Structure formats: structure tokens, C-alpha cells
């Protein structure tokens, strides 16, 4: 019997990067450009440095982050990523400047937030009447604290009884620890859980390895639709409660 449903966040509950047009409309830099500008500005104020050097160091730090994320299933915090960047440049920042840049990175997607995917509020409200719900999400830039705020801004946080964010758990999907955290918070076993997400490797193969069921969500990203081993495919959130009920009924 299914007692709990866990959800990926990016491109499953919230459209990734739909904040970029909002930033452009306000005359702001893209997130990528703004992050690099913040680092360059702080360093250049102390000792001149070419923007191109900062861009290269940022790219290398991002590449190192991606390697650790994919291979070791760990998501470095923004502070850790920026420390790698500064080490590559053989530069340091005053503690206050460093803390300011870290915070600016972490709140960027909260101050100007991306859009929720259509019908997610109605689907969550219906599912929460029959199942316990939990977020299981990697934190690539915005930490768990900020993602809770993002969910609250869309009036979605209230539907969830638990949150497993990779910066708080210490591992990222598909690592067992992420789903163990969710199961522990909800008081259920793996066999009583179904996970919803948009990536077959993380959101289907990971849960399946633990004895969970999994649904591939394709409204925002359908790259894995033809090859997935998911128990079901969901193309729109309006259909999700029916899909979960069908899986729960066996």
C-alpha cells in the first residue's frame, strides 16, 4: 500500500529558469552573469582583476561541483564552491564580503522566483488528503532554507510533511540517504512510497533500487520519456492524483 509521495522540485514542481525573463524585464543581469559579477566586483575592489579570469575560475569551480555532484552524489554549498573558486585564483576576500556574496547567491531565486508548474497546487491539495507528502530535492544553488521560502511564495509548502534537501542531508539523489531522510520524516517504509520527478536516473532508477515506485514527470522535460523504466508517466499534474491512486491500488 502506498502511504507517501515524494517530489523532486526543479522541473517537477517549479519550472527551472522561468525567473530569467523576469530578471530581464527588470533590466537585471542573468543569474549566471550576476553571480560572476558579484565575485569580480568584490575582488576588483581590493586588487584589480580581469573579469575573464573570474569567469574562467567560476567555470572551473562549476565543473568541479558537477563532477562531485554526479559521481559522489554530494552538492557543495555555495560557500564551498566559492572557496574553490578563490583558491583557484589564489585570492581571498574579507569575511564580511564573502558572507555577502554567499547570501546574494542563495537568495537570488527567492527574491525573483521562478514559476510553479500548472495545476501543481490542486494536485498537491488532493494528494495531501490521502498521502503524506515530502520534497526530495538537490540544492544546486539555492539551499533548502531558500527552497522552503520559494514553496511558501507559491503557497505550496503547507502541503508537505517533510523536506529532504541535499545540502541538509549531506548527499544528493539518487543516493539512498535522500530517500531514507524522507522515509524517516514521514514514518513509512520504502515499499510504501512513490517518487515523482523528471529525470530517469535520479528520480526513477534511484527510488526503484530501494523498492519504491516511481513516476516520470514530463511536462517540463521529456528527455527520458522513451527509455524510462518508471511505473507510470505523468504529462500534466492534473492527472497525477489518478496515477498515484492507481499505483496505490496495485
Give the C-alpha separation, 123 to 8, whole Å.
Answer: 14
Where in the chain are all domains bearing CATH 3.40.50.1000?
A: 4-18+114-248
pLDDT in tens, 32-63: 999 999 999 999 999 999 999 999 999 999 99
> How large is the angle between the packed helices 31-46 and 95-111, nearest 10 degrees?
160
pTM: 0.94
Give alpha helix (H) positions in the chain: 20-25, 31-46, 51-72, 78-89, 95-111, 120-128, 144-153, 166-169, 176-186, 206-209, 240-248
pLDDT in tens, 131-150: 999 999 999 999 999 999 99
- Residue 250: pLDDT above 90? no
Query: Could you tell me the fold of the domain covering 4-18+114-248?
Result: Rossmann fold (3.40.50)
Residue 49 near residue 89, CB atoms below 8 Å: yes
Q: 530517469: which residue's cell?
A: 200
Write the Ramachandran bin of 151: left for phi over 0, alpha for psi from -120 to 50, otherwise beta.
alpha
Cell of 176: 539512498
pLDDT in tens, 76-133: 999 999 999 999 999 999 999 999 999 999 999 999 999 999 999 999 999 999 999 9
H-helix or E-strand containing 6? strand 4-7
What share of the chain in percent tops pLDDT 90? 99
Give one DSSP letter per residue of 132-200, joined into a string: EEEEEE--SSS-HHHHHHHHHHTT-GGG-SEEEEHHHHS--TTSHHHHHHHHHHHT--GGGEEEEES-I
Work out the average pLDDT over 180-187. Answer: 98
- Residue 2: pLDDT above 90? yes
Give the C-alpha separation, 10 to 8, whole Å.
Answer: 6
Cell of 167: 545540502
Counting Cα atoms < 13 Å in the Cβ hemisphere of 36 gives 18
> What pLDDT shows up at residue 128?
98
Sheet strand arrangement including 4-7:
162-165, 132-137, 4-7, 193-197, 213-217, 232-234
How many other C-beta atoms are found inside a 10 Å radius of the C-beta of residue 92? 13
Amino acid at each position: 500500500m502506498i502511504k507517501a509521495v515524494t517530489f523532486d522540485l526543479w522541473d517537477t514542481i517549479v519550472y527551472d529558469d522561468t525567473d530569467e525573463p523576469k530578471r530581464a524585464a527588470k533590466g537585471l543581469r542573468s543569474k549566471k552573469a550576476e553571480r560572476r559579477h558579484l565575485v569580480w566586483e568584490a575582488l576588483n575592489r581590493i586588487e584589480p582583476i580581469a573579469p575573464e579570469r573570474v569567469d574562467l575560475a567560476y567555470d572551473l569551480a562549476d565543473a568541479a561541483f558537477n563532477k562531485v555532484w554526479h559521481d559522489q552524489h554530494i552538492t557543495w554549498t555555495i560557500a564551498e564552491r566559492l572557496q574553490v573558486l578563490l583558491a583557484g585564483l589564489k585570492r581571498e576576500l574579507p569575511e564580511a564580503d564573502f558572507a555577502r556574496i554567499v547570501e546574494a547567491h542563495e537568495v537570488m531565486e527567492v527574491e525573483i522566483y521562478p514559476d510553479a508548474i500548472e495545476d501543481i497546487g490542486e494536485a498537491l491539495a488532493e494528494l495531501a488528503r490521502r498521502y503524506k507528502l515530502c520534497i526530495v530535492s538537490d540544492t544546486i544553488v539555492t539551499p533548502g532554507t531558500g527552497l522552503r521560502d520559494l514553496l511558501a511564495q507559491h503557497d505550496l509548502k503547507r502541503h508537505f510533511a517533510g523536506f529532504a534537501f541535499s545540502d541538509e542531508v549531506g548527499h544528493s539523489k539518487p543516493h539512498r540517504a535522500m530517500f531514507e531522510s524522507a522515509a524517516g520524516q514521514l514514518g513509512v517504509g520504502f515499499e510504501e512510497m512513490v517518487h515523482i520527478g523528471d529525470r530517469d536516473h535520479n528520480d526513477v532508477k534511484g527510488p526503484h533500487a530501494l523498492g519504491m515506485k516511481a513516476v516520470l514527470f514530463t511536462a517540463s522535460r521529456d528527455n527520458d520519456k522513451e527509455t524510462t523504466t518508471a511505473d507510470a508517466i505523468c504529462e500534466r499534474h492534473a492527472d497525477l492524483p489518478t496515477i498515484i491512486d492507481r499505483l496505490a491500488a496495485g
